[in-house]
A and B are shown apart, each in its own frame.
Chain A
């Protein structure tokens, strides 16, 4: 199925259909991850790959055009397909070659199960004391990597702002719609369903956020889910309505606030006598409590940052729906 959808996305010419196929592909791989016993990753893939990414791509489509242009205006490409084909073939061959000596799937003796993993599995109960080991590894043992990942997301948000024009809001610019979603706003059925769904989505986001210690989930997933509620609302009611609830200014602040919450938690631990991100130092009497507090705070930081970046990215796309004449000079184009 994965292969079929991958091939389909290459051969289909209608870009709208391609995006749908991408969504299916992501959903399938989410199922795949679940099969590999990685529910946290599956949840992320489902939320981002099958949720946000297609919406953003559709947004891009609405801004450009739907059909793949059969006769490009640019001069004919001088590239021959041969070289890429050889490169891809060699890469594929190397991957296959590598599989010959890999440990078998599910092999309990595989090095990845016998070296560092046992401590995560056996000791994290005493050292950190939360049931979801993935969260322990992600937020504490390898917390610095996660800080890095949050910064990657933050950087991506900065990138979109840099390209699509930033802070032009203060200049009294009006917000506009996707041309395509304007019609959505007249559908009563959609309005009613969205009204029912949005609180549920928000509630679910909070559940995923704060229950991340016990079950699959955490800041990344919760942030995305939280953002989808707002994106749904935008599509149904329009940007102006959303901006009545949250000003873009506020989103930018929360973006930075999220990463800083993570970073500063680490700094606090440092000034309380530990290493950077050493949550044990947060509570000298009860290190386990310190761990809990640290993980709660950084996960919250992750959630806030991810939600804010997703919203800001989407609103920036949406905000370019129809351009005013005086708009054309700004932005990266």
Chain B
């Protein structure tokens, strides 16, 4: 039994949540459905940790689906980067599910609980499937699963605008997925293979063709939509803003991160640095758009009254930082990007959970609701402040570490580097502005009534777990920086 499990860990990583989903759908009892979902997620987190250790000790792992060797069959391929992302996604999912139970009780109708967990598990399985696979078409299939289920998750939102937000995301997401599919189709047409490693080996021969160039463009644009890279981000604020709190936490911390992972996979593993940045003017475009993303995201965030929207716009800015790191095309830059992906997932998860706590008590998360919360919900607000400091990039928080690495990487780049450093600093100042508005309302304005209405422990524990993680990864950076650097090295070193 144990041997079978150990030999099939890569498959189980995805299968645990995937196959638990239909069972969850059938049991329908709220408590059991939650327990099943939680156990499956926790299990896949344990698997991810195992895989991460295996990869760092033994190098790249390969697993063949159906026993057919690649490129005929589908291969699961786990390298440093995918192991890191798998661990991040399943870890966040575990904390989110711990949070979910109490939080959704207030936000969605009781008869939908089981459906909710089913959709959440499917979404998780989709995201993990994208990350772990070594096959371009398989990536698309799991992208479909995760997208479809995230539309469902968003539409669970209490506010009727959740439906419109979900529909808008559906349209944008479908366009993105279709573009990705067109790109993959072109690649298949030119190389006759769908396996990523095999693609990388066969592409150079046909690199200098219009079809491959078009495929590249379609794939980059398609994934940028899923990634919400400026100016393709318009679906994001409403989707995050009107979804149930749990869903916002989960999507903000995982979905865009996985899209970034897929983008890295295509740029660095399949097309290769030389083609992507040498022949195509991708570097300039990415840096330009990312800098714009930082400014427009941060500026818009300042003027929002719904704090969920503030954080959503801030996400767009943060995605800008990650992309800047990627576009520097150096090991230092890339590892800063990956590191920020990791740190941002934790900080944003913490912030959105704190919002979820406020929502639990007040039924909305507008700036007015925050008045005096420093007194009435001290623990929630303290967690919010920790997450906020992380976003700003205060030393001793995770956000500082990734921005520090980003600035260090940019220093090697002369004039462009100066622009980047300026935008990182300016972005941080703007972050101070939008976080400060909340802090001011919470600590310097009188509450409506003085009663203590702290959120229940079931919500506070997951929130604080992420808040402490924000601090922990700001002090002990061995795990995060080490993994990010290794991942960046393997990406820059060509095919894994």
Contacts and interface: CB of A to CB of B under 8 A. Distances in A.
Nearest to A155: B148
Interface string A108-136: 00111111110110000000000000000
A274 B190 contact: no
Contacts of A145: 74, 135, 137-138, 141
Interface string B63-79: 11111100111100000
Contact of B111 (A103, A144, A168, A277): A168
B214 A98 contact: yes
A232 to B, nearest CB: 27
B215 A141 contact: no
A143 interface: yes
Given A158-B152, A277-B66, A252 B115 contact: no
Contacts of A114: 192
Given A256-B22, A275-B63, A115 B68 contact: no
B268 interface: no
A161 B115 contact: yes
A140 B210 contact: no
A162 B120 CA distance: 12
Nearest to B73: A141
B21 to A, nearest CB: 8
A267 B8 CA distance: 10
A98 B65 contact: no
Q: Which of A111, A114, A333 has the most CB of B within 10 A?
A: A111
Interface stretch (A25-33, A42-50, A146-154): A146-154
A276 B72 contact: no
A263 B15 contact: yes
B151 A159 contact: yes
A102 B189 CA distance: 8
Given A97-B214, A161-B115, A163-B155, A144 B191 contact: no
Contacts of B214: 94-95, 97-98
Interface stretch (B23-31, B95-103, B269-277): B23-31
A142 B193 contact: no
B242 to A, nearest CB: 13
B68 A267 contact: no
A158 B142 contact: no
A111 B218 contact: no
Contacts of A166: 111-112, 115
Contacts of B152: 155, 158-159, 162-163
Given A145-B137, A152-B148, A112 B66 contact: no
A172 B214 CA distance: 56
B56 to A, nearest CB: 23
A148 B190 contact: no
Contacts of A117: 192
B211 interface: yes
A90 to B, nearest CB: 9
Contacts of A154: 21-22, 122
Nearest to B63: A275
Contacts of A266: 15
Contacts of B112: 162, 166
A228 interface: no
B144 interface: yes
A222 interface: no
A278 interface: yes
A333 B109 CA distance: 12
B236 interface: no
Contacts of A256: 22-23, 25-26
A111 B189 CA distance: 7
Nearest to A275: B67
Q: Which of B115, B191, B202 has the most CB of A within 10 A?
A: B115
B209 interface: yes
A110 B63 CA distance: 29
B192 A112 contact: yes
A68 interface: no
A158 B144 contact: no
B168 to A, nearest CB: 13
B279 to A, nearest CB: 14
B191 A148 contact: no
B118 interface: yes
Contact of B145 (A99, A151, A167, A255): A151
Q: Which of A256, A271, A276, A278 has the most CB of B within 10 A?
A: A276
Contacts of B111: 166-168, 330
Main secondary structure of the interface of A (DSSP, over half): helix
A95 B122 CA distance: 33
A110 B189 contact: yes
B137 to A, nearest CB: 6
Contacts of A113: 192
B71 A167 contact: no
B206 interface: yes
Contacts of B145: 148, 151-152, 155
B19 A111 contact: no
Given A158-B25, A162-B152, A270 B193 contact: no
Contact of B25 (A116, A252, A273): A252
A199 interface: no
Interface string B57-92: 000000111111001111000000000000000000
A101 interface: yes
Contacts of B160: 333
B144 A152 contact: yes
B11 A275 contact: yes
A110 B65 CA distance: 27
Given A98-B214, A162-B112, A155 B141 contact: no
B430 to A, nearest CB: 27
Interface in A270-307: 270-271, 273-281
B210 A101 contact: yes
B280 to A, nearest CB: 13
A167 B66 contact: no
Given A158-B118, A158-B122, A159-B151, A275 B64 contact: yes
Q: Which of A99, A148, A162 has the most CB of B within 10 A?
A: A148
B314 interface: no
Contact of B66 (A103, A111, A263, A275): A275
A256 B33 CA distance: 14
Contact of B73 (A91, A142, A158): A142
A260 B211 contact: no
A148 B15 contact: no
Interface of B: 4, 8, 11, 15, 18-19, 21-23, 25-26, 28, 63-68, 71-74, 109, 111-112, 115-116, 118-119, 122, 125, 129, 135, 137-138, 141-142, 144-145, 148-149, 151-152, 155-156, 160, 163, 179, 182, 186, 188-194, 202, 206, 209-215, 217-218
Given A115-B191, A278-B66, 9 more contacts: A97-B213, A98-B215, A103-B190, A115-B193, A145-B138, A152-B141, A159-B149, A260-B23, A263-B18
Interface of A: 91, 94-95, 97-103, 110-117, 119-120, 140-145, 148-149, 151-152, 154-156, 158-159, 161-163, 166-168, 252-253, 255-256, 259-260, 263-264, 266-267, 270-271, 273-281, 330, 332-333
A-B pairs, 8 with minimum CB distance: A115-B192, A98-B214, A278-B67, A148-B141, A101-B209, A111-B192, A256-B22, A276-B11
